Homo-oligomer: A and B are copies of this chain.
Amino acid sequence: MISTAIINVTSYTGLELLRLLAQHPQLKVTSVTARSLAGKTLADVFPQLQALAATTAIDPTMVIAEEPAQTDLAFVCLPHAAAAEAVVRLLERGTKVIDLSADFRLHDVAVYEEWYKHTHPAPALLESAVFGLCERYRERIAGASLVASPGCHSTTAILALLPAFARGIVEPDVIVDSKTGISGAGRGLTLGTHFAEANEDMSPYSVGGHRHMPEIKQELLAAARDGGHALSDIRMTFLPHLVPMTRGILATCYATLAPGAVESLSSKAIVELYREYYAGEPFVHVVDQPPHTKWAYGSNHCFIYPTLDARTGRLIVMSCTDNLVKGAVGQAIQNANCMLGWPESLGLAGAGVNP
């Protein structure tokens, strides 16, 4: 068993880690932290965890500490900047770290500082940090000490567009219209997440620019370059929307097929190209009908449907994940499995909760 810490366990990602690690045969939670609720037990904060005592390795009477105990592995669920500081300390004591914040996702410090409006707390670590998308970087993740797990919108959109950019079938001009459930906003209290405001409502947000866009751009440019279709930049519009559901992201992506592709590719051929790209992936499933966010509910799966809009020559790719699982915690565990040399699906198998 690998001893594991959850840093900032009182967040929604912290809670979801407890749920998923309760099913994991090799990772044992031995330390949990949170600043504001230190001294409380897990069951004080989340009474439902009392149910785990009898049948899992999670101990609901575990006391939340201010600082983590020494562990082999740690999941960092802090906001950016605070996350980097915790990561530095964890790495110093030899703990392998999966960071769920944005602090180590962007390779270019200048881009980070432009979007996050502060000086990067630990730029020296950027070179060794690996972007935590196993579907792209599993070899590098396997040897990493620090993995930066990507954001929920980013994961869903990157998986949607990777094959298109890697194979060079689209022009560098993309619109991602992303729709997310409300748990993505976190456990903090805001008027926008009040049930009476959010229920029966839908609204765009971050219209001036959302911080997940640079991650998406970075990864699509990298995919294009590694696929032999290097691009200087991508003209990308990314617009997120809040949807009245707890979990789930649907990214609808629009791109224009490249001149050669538009003549040679049918909808069926595009599905085939995607299936071939993702062949053997345990969590990415290319389907031939519009996907539903609910298919992924509570699971680490991603469902992708790429198709040709024949009237316009546009590629439309629809991609669904659970924002808290493949969009956050499930992917973090997949990264941990990869770092530790285990099958990526260890403790993560299973279908979405349907209906």
Q: List residues of chain A with CB under 8 Å of any chain B CB.
A: 12, 15, 18-19, 22-23, 46-52, 54-56, 58, 175, 177, 179, 181-183, 185, 187, 189-191, 193-205, 207, 209, 235-237, 239, 241, 243-248, 250, 252, 254, 280-283, 285, 287, 289-299, 301, 303, 305, 307, 309, 311-312, 314, 316, 318, 320, 345, 348-355
Most chain-B CB neighbours within 10 Å: which of A185, A236, A239? A239
Contact B237 A312 (CB under 8 A): yes
Bound: A294/B235 CA distance, A: 32
Contact B295 A298 (CB under 8 A): no
Q: Which of B189, B292, B298 contacts A189 (CB 8 A)?
A: B189
Q: Give the residue name and chain of the B residue nearest to A254 (CB).
A: B175
Known contacts being A193-B194, A207-B316, A349-B56, is A199 close to B51, with CB within 8 Å?
A: no
Residues of B within 8 A of A55 (CB): 282, 345, 348-350
Bound: A285/B293 CA distance, A: 32
Most chain-B CB neighbours within 10 Å: which of A23, A189, A311, A353? A353
Q: Give the residue name and chain of the B residue nearest to A353 (CB).
A: B298
Contact B297 A200 (CB under 8 A): yes
Q: 13 other contacts beyond A199-B199, A201-B293, A246-B355, with CB at 8 A cut-off?
A: A19-B354, A22-B350, A51-B352, A56-B350, A179-B179, A179-B243, A196-B355, A201-B245, A202-B248, A202-B250, A203-B291, A235-B312, A239-B316
Bound: A350/B303 CA distance, A: 25
As for how many copies of this chain the complex holds, the number is 4
Residues of B within 8 A of A301 (CB): 48, 51
Q: Which of B195, B202, B203 contacts A193 (CB 8 A)?
A: B195
Residues of B within 8 A of A296 (CB): 48
Residues of B within 8 A of A285 (CB): 50-51
Q: Which of B179, B181, B237, B245 contacts A316 (CB 8 A)?
A: B237
State the Cβ distance, A51 to closest chain B Cβ, in Å: 4
Residues of B within 8 A of A354 (CB): 15, 19, 46, 48
Residues of B within 8 A of A287 (CB): 47, 50
Residues of B within 8 A of A311 (CB): 209, 235-237
State the Cβ distance, A303 to closest chain B Cβ, in Å: 7
- Mind listing 9 A-B residue pairs with CB under 8 Å? A22-B351, A23-B349, A182-B196, A182-B199, A187-B194, A194-B195, A200-B294, A207-B305, A235-B311
Residues of B within 8 A of A345 (CB): 54-55
Bound: A92/B182 CA distance, A: 47
Most chain-B CB neighbours within 10 Å: which of A50, A205, A303? A50
Contact B241 A179 (CB under 8 A): yes
